[in-house]
Amino acid sequence: MRVLTLVLALVLGLPTLPARAEVPRVQTDISPVAALVAQVMGDLGRPGLLLDKGGDEHDMQLRPSQRRDLAAATLLIWVGPELTPGLDQARAAAQVQSLALLDDPRTLRQDYAEGGLNPHAWLDPANAAIWIDLIAACLQALDPDHAATYRANAAAAQARIVTLDAALAAKLAPLKRPFVTYHDAYGYFARHYNLPYRGGLAAGDAAPPGAAQIARLHQDAASGAIRCAFPEAQHDPALIDSLAEGTGLFVGPPLDPVGSMLDPGPDAYDLLLTGLATALLACATADMP
Tell me which residues touch Zn ion (CB under 5 A): 185
Residue least distant from Zn ion (Cβ): 185
CB of 154 to Zn ion, least distance (A): 27
SS3 67: helix
Q: Which is nearer to Zn ion, 185 or 271 (CB)?
A: 185
Q: What is the DSSP string of 148-201?
A: HHHHHHHHHHHHHHHHHHHHHHHHHTT--S-EEEEES--HHHHHHHT--EEEEE
CB of 63 to Zn ion, least distance (A): 21
Please give the Cα distance from 132 to 129 (Å, whole number): 5
Q: Which is nearer to Zn ion, 185 or 273 (CB)?
A: 185
Q: Which is nearer to Zn ion, 120 or 227 (CB)?
A: 120
Q: Check: CB of residue 128 under 8 Å from CB of residue 135.
A: no
Q: Check: CB of residue 243 under 8 Å from CB of residue 221.
A: yes
Q: Which is nearer to Zn ion, 24 or 264 (CB)?
A: 264
CB of 112 to Zn ion, least distance (A): 11
Q: Which is nearer to Zn ion, 187 or 252 (CB)?
A: 187
Please give the Cα distance from 117 to 258 (Å, whole number): 17
Q: Which is nearer to Zn ion, 38 or 123 (CB)?
A: 123
Please give the Cα distance from 206 to 224 (Å, whole number): 25
CB of 152 to Zn ion, least distance (A): 33
Provide Rg for the chain, Cα atoms: 20
DSSP assigned state of 207: P
Please give the Cα distance from 279 to 20 (Å, whole number): 44
CB of 183 to Zn ion, least distance (A): 6
Please give the Cα distance from 125 to 82 (Å, whole number): 19
CB of 73 to Zn ion, least distance (A): 24
